Structure formats: structure tokens, C-alpha cells
Structure 1
Amino acid sequence: MTKQIYGEKNGLSYTLHGDYYLPDLELNDEEPVYGKYGIMRKQFLKEHRSAKYQYLVLTGKLTEHLNQVDKEVREKAEILMEQMAVQWGVTEELKMQDQMEWVRRMNTIKNVAEENILKNGVYK
């Protein structure tokens, strides 16, 4: 039997240990760095898309995927909040006149935008 083989389908190399071929996996010593939405995406993948999660882990692309999702979702949320603030008339003038109303509207905008983003970005 050959000591090492390469899996064409999944792109992993394997080494013979006893009677079994085990994948040659390397642990990444770096601590993964991703934000709130990356963490939420990871949990979603673990619970609802386990095949995709396992594929990303085995190919070493999980952290890259989570960082990409986190970045995209943050950018979309920021753009959506800016658009909604204009649409709902939340301006600096309102902030000067009635701070509590401005805070209420901004919190509502943030919650609506985040709910939309979670459905369309993290939990897809």
C-alpha cells in the first residue's frame, strides 16, 4: 500500500497509519479573528449546514469565509442604516432638537436593518 495518497475529489492528501488513511490536517496556531456576524454565521453553519461547515473546516477556509461574511454584513448594515435614516428623516437637526426621539429612531433603524441583514446575509 502506498504511504501517501491524494484525494482528487476533496483536494486533501492522506497518510497511511496502520490500516487506515488519515487526512493530513494542519492546525493553525493563529487565533481566528472575526466579529459578531462571523460568530453568528459559524453557529448557523454548525447547526443547519453541517456539510458545508465540515468542508470549510477540512479545507482550511472557515476563518476566511467567516471574515468575508462578517465584512459584507457590516458594510450592508451600514449602508442600509444610512439609507433608512434619510428615508425616515433622522437628521442632525432632529438630534439637536429632540435627542431622545433621535435615539429612538436610530435604535429602531438599527434593529430593522440588523434583522434584514441577518435573514439575507448570515442565515442563508
Structure 2
Amino acid sequence: MAKSLFEELGGRYERQGDYLIPCLSVPAEEEQPIGIWGQRHMNYLKQYHKVTYTNLFTNGRLNAYLVDVDRQAQERFERLIEGMKQTQDITEQLKAENALEWTGKMNNIRACARKIVYDEIIYA
């Protein structure tokens, strides 16, 4: 009997009853911790871009991709916060003089930066 394309590419079958089932496995990839940004992007891919998620997963590149997205998002988030702090003149002196005002402004900046990161990286 002629070999199938699957067998020619190195695949093998396992007999279960009267059926031959292909032995499929996902390629192993180095596990790296995925941060919150990467997890949110993964959920977005699962829900709205299933083909991209499946391709990354089956090629064994999902974890590395999500770690990279997480790193990019975290760097962008930190740069945005620093830039906004300078623009709005939020200093350590303000923190020492009026901690409540400083906290309110910092919370506002973090919320704005988070929204920008979501729009530009996570949900893009």
C-alpha cells in the first residue's frame, strides 16, 4: 500500500479498533512566564482571532509570541507613564506635599496609559 503524505512527512498512525488514528502532538516550546498583558492578548486571540491563535499554538510559537507581546506592552506602558508624568509636571515634591492629589493624578495617568496599550498592542 502506498504511503500517505502524512507518513512521507514522518507521521505515524496508531490502530484503534478498525481505525488508523494519526499520532499528533504539539511541538515542545520553552515555557516562559506570561504576564498580564500577554494573558489578555491570548484571551483576545482565542475569542476574536481563532485561526491566528491555533496557528501559533500548533507551530509551538504561542508562548514566545505572548512573552514578546507582554514585554512590548509593559515597556510601552512604562514609557507612557513617564512621559505623562513629565508633561503634567508630577514630581516627588508633589508626592511629599500632597499625597492625595499625587495619587489621583497617577491613577488617572495609569488609566490613560492602560487604555492606550490596550488599543495599540493588546486588542490590535
Query: What is the TM-score normalised by the length of structure 2?
Result: 0.83
Correspondence list, 1:105-116, <5 A: 105-116=105-116
Instruction: Extract unaligned runs of 5+ from structure 2.
Output: none
Q: Report the Cα distance in structure 1 between the residues aligned to 2:97 and 2:111, rounded to whole angstroms.
A: 23
Other-structure match for 1:82: 82
Bigger Rg, which one:
2
Question: How do 1:1-124 residues align onto structure 2 when only pairs under 5 Å count?
Answer: 1-2=2-3, 4-6=7-9, 14-17=11-14, 19=20, 21-26=22-27, 33-124=33-124
State the Cα distance separating 1:33 from its structure 2 match: 1.4
Give the equivalent residue in structure 2 for 1:10: none
* CA apart distance, 1:88: 0.9
CA distance in 2, matches of 1:55, 1:90: 45
Go from structure 1 to structure 2 and tell me whether the alpha carbon gap of 1:59 and 1:40 turns closer, same or farther (over 3 Å shift).
same
For residues 8 and 100 of structure 2, the distance between their equivalents in structure 1, rounded to whole angstroms, comes to 66
Task: Give the structure-1-normalised TM-score.
Answer: 0.83
Offset at 1:89? 1.2
Secondary structure at 2:79's aligned position in 1? helix
RMSD (CA atoms): 2.0
Q: CA deviation at 1:31?
A: 5.4
AA paired with 2:36?
A: K
Q: Distance in 2 between matches of 1:111 and 1:44?
A: 20
Structure 2 SS opposite 1:81? helix
- State how many pairs are aligned: 117
